[in-house]
Amino acid sequence: MRLLRDVLLVGFGTYGQFLVTLITLPLTARLLGAEGVGLVAVGMSAYFLGSVLVDLGATQYFSARVHDADLVRVRGAYAVIRVAIFGALVVALAVGWAAGLHGAPRMLLVGAVAGGVWSLSEDWVLIGHGRFGASTAYQAAGRVVYLVILLLALPRFPTPEVALACLGASSLITVAATWIDAERRTGRLQPTLAVGPVLRTAAPVLASRLLLTGYGQGGAAAYSAVLNAASLGVFSAADRLVRAGQSVLDPIGFALLPRMVRRSAEADFDRRVHRGAVACTAVAVVAAAAITVAAPLAVRLVYGPGFEQAVDLLRIMAWILPATTLTSYVTTAVLPARRRTSTVLTGAIVGVATAGVALAITAVTGSVLTMVLGVVVSEWAVATWFVLTALRAPAGTVRSEGVSTPTTRTVSR
């Protein structure tokens, strides 16, 4: 029951934007139409890419080190890196806006900055300490603010840029709360320019997470080059509902991370890993079947008329859930506990290679169905890769591949 509680807390906190999305999507769809929803989809893709870029995609790995002796150094260097990257994104947005960029290019910049704001939080410290309740409370406050400002602003200024700006602005609440909490628990931040060790640890993870996000949640950004905004809007209608389902399943890995770290050197660690993989996949299969059955009703209630094409796409995309859940479990709980980084990178390369083929085919066909099938094949290719590699790795590994890191940590809390 405690594990279930943690899963629910992390789910609402870390991925709560998807639950809020189910409330705000009808408003957005009716105010912006299919073309506007397509541009929002491009911005949301950039949101995830910007989030990964700013936090280096390595929050799980640093969460696993909150009990290490060098936490003060790691936290100081990590903060300096994130602020620097976020500043570069803000400058890029200002330059692009001044240059008169419109449509998809502008939405890419707006979305990246909005996602970058979210990644400035110190939520990774809370997760590492198992403080899921506090994490959820801070993020829930941000989601409530998002609902309020979106409902106030979007009807008056019905543009895709405003929709993304509301999401980014609401993240400031969570960022401030997590920083105050972290300061009280771990002491005052000590910024340092000695960022080399942190960058070496995060480099392979960042590359892999950008690739994983690029063909998954960030796929619309790539496909905006070969599909028009209306087609992207239909795709987004299916994609956002499936990602909402994924958001309910992904927190399993986050909730398991502290437990996996504590047991990473135990003899039965492999058995725990395999048992967890089977359980995650089984739950995801049930969720995919439920979405398949409920697809017509879900699209009609959330999006209204004009999105009927999304029903068949939703029924196909629902079956990425077993694959994404398995991948999330491995990358957020298993590999960080073993402190392995290169396995994530090779898995991402498999996914991007598959998605690249689908992108090339879509450029020829101009069909949104090709795009959907490409996403499904890519997600399953990566999940299969992790089944064949990461889940068979020897237990007890606590050193990063190619990276020397301290292994001293407090086991009991």
Find the length of the chain. Answer: 413
- Summarize pLDDT for 75-85 with one digit per residue, the tens: 899 999 999 99
What's the rounded Cα separation, in Å, for the pair 137 and 177? 9
> How many Å is the Cα radius of gyration of the chain?
20
pLDDT at 270 over 60: yes
pLDDT bin (cut points 50, 70, 90) of residue 408 is very low
6 is a domain residue: yes
Q: Taking the mean position of all CA atoms in its chain, how far away is CA 253?
A: 12
316 vs 140, residue with greater confidence: 316
Is residue 105 situated within a structural domain?
A: yes
Considering the domain boundaries, does residue 98 fall inside one? yes
Is residue 398 in a domain?
no
313: closest CA among 394, 232, 238, 397?
Answer: 238
pLDDT of 118-139, one tens digit each?
Answer: 899 998 888 888 777 788 788 8
Amino acid letter at 354?
A: T
Alpha-carbon distance of 226 to 157, in angstroms, equals: 28
The answer to the question of residue 296 being in a domain is yes
Can you give the residue range of the structural domain that contains 101?
A: 2-392
Number of domains in the chain: 1
pLDDT in tens, 345-382: 788 788 888 888 888 898 888 888 888 898 899 899 98
Residue 412 falls within a domain, yes or no?
A: no
User: Is 405 a domain residue?
Assistant: no
Residue 400: pLDDT over 60: no
Q: What is the pLDDT of residues 37-52, one digit of tens each?
A: 888 888 888 898 899 9
Task: Tell me the C-alpha distance between 152 and 143, whole Å.
Answer: 14
What does the alpha-carbon distance between residue 398 and residue 264 come to, in Å, rounded to a whole number? 7
Residues with Cβ within 8 Å of residue 196, at least 6 apart in sequence: none
- 242 in Cβ contact with 321 (< 8 Å): yes
- Structural tokens at position 87: 């500043």
Tell me if 325 sits within 8 A of 250, measured CB to CB: yes
Per the model's pLDDT, the better-predicted residue between 333 and 237 turns out to be 237
Tell the burial category of 313 from Cβ atoms under 10 Å away from its Cβ (0-12, 13-18, 19+). buried
